[in-house]
Structure 1
Amino acid sequence: MALLGAIEGGGTKFVVAVADAAHPETVVARESFPTAYAAETMSQIQAFFDQYQDIVAIGISMFGPIDVNPASRTYGYVLATPKRGWSGYNFLGAMTEWRDIPYYWTTDVNGSAWGEFVSGAGQENDNILYLTVGTGIGAGIVANGQLLQGISHPEAGHIMVNKHPMDTYKGHCPFHGDHCLEGVASGPAMAERWGQPANLLDDDSTAWQLEAFYLAQAAVTYTTILRPEKIIFGGGVPHRDVLMSLVRKSFAAQLSDYLPVPNLDDYLVRAGNGDDAGILGSFYLAKTLV
């Protein structure tokens, strides 16, 4: 049986899997492990895939920023990243040297966006934005049925935001402090600001009001620039049920009826594939190569 491989590389953990090439939803094997330094993590990845000799292509959805320009001398590299031990690592080169098969190389959020586009919350739409809110914040954009990319991939988690009047937190992003979305609304930012991880905060905590304000502000920005049919929220932070209703309420207030948008219950939604969006998207992207 021909197999597809999938790698979802996150700042906290890596997920690797193989599936039936004819039916990517049929997962044959799957494993996850904490993200360590690059060389150690690569050894674990290759050891997993060494068990399977019938892999015809692998989709790689990798935390960024990464170089996705095939004409660049650093194509396939991880670029300057806050994750220690990864900046300047030739990820795609290490995979190609290990096994010479086709690879689809893109960002983790692009992989998740594609997973939602093919079989998740965005499958009936041609224009979606997938926003992951977890260890970091990033967005994958599908425009007219294609992943959006310019000279490189979007880094929409680092858009500048206006601080909430009640927020005195100095920000978590090592590049932008409290000026960007990731700096004030990522999982580590919430934990640092409130003294405990998001999953331990009470539903009536002020933390969720502030988080909703920032995510809604970002959604307004994405709406005015991209005009997507749907904005899909993934990652660990949106697991909390109370958050999405607060985001919709804040979004309506901040957009202030400026543009027509779909019903907000249908427009601002959680990922249909949940935490499997990225690994499924990696399989679907690998399948485009064979």
Structure 2
Amino acid sequence: ETLPAVRAWLDARAAEAPFAALGVATFGPVDLDPASATYGYITHSPKPGWEMVDVLSALSDGVAPCGFDTDVNAPALAEFAAMKKDAALVDLVEESGGRGDGAGRSLGASGGSRNNGGDGGGVGGVSLDSETVERSSSDNGLWSSLDNGRQHSAAQPIGGSLNNSRQHSATQSVGGGEGGAAASVTNLAYVTVGTGVGVGVICNGQPVHGLSHPEAGHIRVARLKMDGLPGEPGSFKGTCAYHGDCVEGMASAAAIARRCGCHVSELASVPDSHPAWDAAAHYIAGLCATLVMVASPQRIVLGGGVLQRRTLITKVRAHMKKQLGGYVQHDFILTKRGLVQFIVTSRHGNDAGIVGALTLAKAAAASAVAARRRGWKARLLHFAAGTACAVLTLKLVGKDARR
């Protein structure tokens, strides 16, 4: 029901103006190996009806070149791209003598365009998470979502283009002294905490793929003493269907609601003083500390519904520093100012998934343009070589005839 509805929406948009490219960011686990027979499939899922579903073919066949990744790698890539753009803006402002507003408008004007694909039309994005499906076209500013396969919101603007829809984030960072630091970042981790816990990792500017894709939300970290040991009477039982007490099982919205004795929908009314938030911060911080040790990111971005609570990020920073125990000797860990720059909230908020999908689309469009240019150059070289051979042959034949 869901995928056909999304495909119908895409076809309708493409009929108005063909997409230069499409981006699909989906919940997983998903097969990201292009050589695999199940590339583009959600391979297994506790969500009814989603096991072994070919998401990529259902949405992209016959539409346009497609960028495909998880719904956490895609936002990670979007955060990385936006951070790099912010760094460029800071440098531009410094060069112009600190005129923040003018520089921001200048960069936005030069970057913003209806032709986000770079060659023949805008880009489209589809973001599938565990609860909703978001669809957007950067060319006409349309955004809509589906909730359990039903139309949830019709047309709502997401911004004129991917290039300028987040311009305000760039101008906010001007004068913050982060231009040089952001410009040097090559590795980044994106952590989302909501109905589940997901991690996207960017290494040397590219999303990490390999055996599968990062699933760090399912690692285990040290349990709080108050949670007891698994199986002990009175111990806290995690909510993950696969692992019980992994980070997702101990810090997701469902886990926090279990601690509070309420429904997930009531979490907004739980006060900041409730110990459930400290418990969640402990487990999220344990995940961040593990990422520091394993992936060595230069920036950790926190997103998702749970992390919209403003006090939580401060708690996570403090818990992570404590858990690292002074082993990592870096200002980003040891100083308050460094921690504020190292662990940050997502600039895209609840739009992280769809902005990530549009970022995938933009990258796919650029790759398609580059491939066409390489093909054109190859054909030109082939033509030139053929012409040279023909001329040489004619000269040799002429010499033989004169003899």
Alignment partners' CA distance in 1, 2:258 and 2:52: 28
Equivalent residue number for residue 268 of structure 1 = 343
Residues 1:117 and 2:192 are matched in the alignment: no
Q: Equivalences for 1:108-257 in 2 at 5 Å?
A: 108-120=71-83, 124=182, 125-167=185-227, 168-178=235-245, 180-196=246-262, 197=264, 198-257=267-326
One-letter amino acid of the structure 2 residue matched with residue 268 of structure 1: I
**What runs of 5+ residues in structure 2 fail to find an aligned partner?**
87-181, 228-234, 333-337, 366-403
What displacement does 1:122 show?
Answer: 9.3
**Secondary structure class of the residue paired with 2:12:** coil
What displacement does 1:84 show?
Answer: 1.6
More helix by share: 2
Distance 1:85 1:101, change over 3 A: same
**What runs of 5+ residues in structure 1 fail to find an aligned partner?**
1-39
What displacement does 1:156 show?
Answer: 1.0
Indicate the structure (1 or 2) with the bigger Cα radius of gyration.
2
Q: What TM-score results when the alignment is normalised by the length of structure 2?
A: 0.59
Equivalent residue number for residue 15 of structure 1 = none
Alignment partners' CA distance in 1, 2:35 and 2:304: 32
More strand by share: 1
Distance 1:133 1:272, change over 3 A: same
**Secondary structure class of the residue paired with 1:238:** helix
What displacement does 1:50 show?
Answer: 2.4
What displacement does 1:93 show?
Answer: 2.0
User: Does 166-175 or 57-66 show the bigger shift?
Assistant: 166-175
What displacement does 1:107 show?
Answer: 0.1
Residues 1:289 and 2:364 are matched in the alignment: yes
One-letter amino acid of the structure 1 residue matched with residue 7 of structure 2: Q
User: Contact 1:121–1:232 (CA<8 Å) still a contact in 2?
Assistant: no
Residues 1:58 and 2:125 are matched in the alignment: no
Equivalent residue number for residue 49 of structure 2 = 85
Distance 1:190 1:89, change over 3 A: same
Q: How many residues align?
A: 249
User: Contact 2:238–2:255 (CA<8 Å) still a contact in 1?
Assistant: yes
CA deviation string 1:228-260 (max 9, x = no partner): 111110000010011111111111111111102
Q: What TM-score results when the alignment is normalised by the length of structure 1?
A: 0.82
**Secondary structure class of the residue paired with 1:55:** coil
Alignment partners' CA distance in 2, 1:269 and 1:254: 18
Please give the root-mean-square deviation of Cα atoms over the aligned residues, in Å.
Answer: 1.6
Distance 1:96 1:122, change over 3 A: closer
Alignment partners' CA distance in 2, 1:185 and 1:75: 31
Q: Percent of aligned pairs with the same residue?
A: 41
**Secondary structure class of the residue paired with 1:288:** helix
Runs ≥4 residues deviating over 6 A: none
Distance 1:65 1:144, change over 3 A: same
User: Does 116-125 or 83-92 show the bigger shift?
Assistant: 116-125
CA deviation string 1:31-73 (max 9, x = no partner): xxxxxxxxx1112211221221211211001001100011111
User: Contact 1:121–1:271 (CA<8 Å) still a contact in 2?
Assistant: no
What displacement does 1:121 show?
Answer: 8.8
